[in-house]
Amino acid sequence: MGAATSLLFAPLSPLAVIVESDLPEFRWQALPGATSYRVEIYDSEFHLVMRSLEQRETIWTPPQPLERARLYRWQIVAVYKGNSITSPAPPAPDAEFRILDAQAEERVAHAPHRSPMGHLLAAILLGQAGLKTEASAELAMLPPETRRLPEIEKLIFSVPDSKTSK
């Protein structure tokens, strides 16, 4: 298998983020010619936590929740011409993510999301939890005149990057 083909076959999400759901949706780039895929999830000590059944789709959600506040690594194993091919493979970085801790999830779940102030509060809570994409989406829901305020712009640009390690 050529290097160009192996570059196409890769995890897409979740990657280097904190995810809100304890049932995250796994997505990956298809390997042309693969007959099936299997997702494997490992804890930070590289112990197998969960494994999917063989499937043809490039999306999978675990049947049981993952433990909150834990760092996970995951990989896809494709069956290609009778061989197992794993991605990511060295020298590519591990596909890592963390599940949002229970306290932060509770705060985010109970934040009002209907009014401009609700969107602002949700953005702050999401940003503090490390959910940058979600925080940015909440900030985008603010009226344009509010988003242009210097304090709001500062908040928008100060939302921390989602990191898998704390």
- On average, the pLDDT of the chain sits at 84
Q: Which residue has the higher pLDDT, 145 or 58?
A: 58
Q: Which residue has the higher pLDDT, 82 or 152?
A: 82
- pLDDT of residue 147 exceeding 70, the answer is yes
Asked if residue 62 and residue 88 are part of one domain, the reply reads: yes
Asked if residue 123 and residue 139 are part of one domain, the reply reads: yes
Asked if residue 78 and residue 123 are part of one domain, the reply reads: no
**Of 51-60, 104-113, 129-138, the least confident:** 104-113
- pLDDT of residue 113 exceeding 90, the answer is no
- pLDDT of residue 1 exceeding 60, the answer is no
| Residue 100 contacts residue 108 (beta carbons within 8 Å) | yes
Full-model pTM:
0.72
Type and span of the H or E element at 12? strand 11-13
Give dist(CA 123, CA 117) in Å, integer: 10
Residue 77 lies in a domain: yes
State the pLDDT at residue 99. 93
Q: Percentage of residues in the chain with pLDDT exceeding 90?
A: 51
Residues with Cβ within 8 Å of 158's Cβ and at least 6 positions away in sequence, in order, are 127
9: containing domain: 3-99
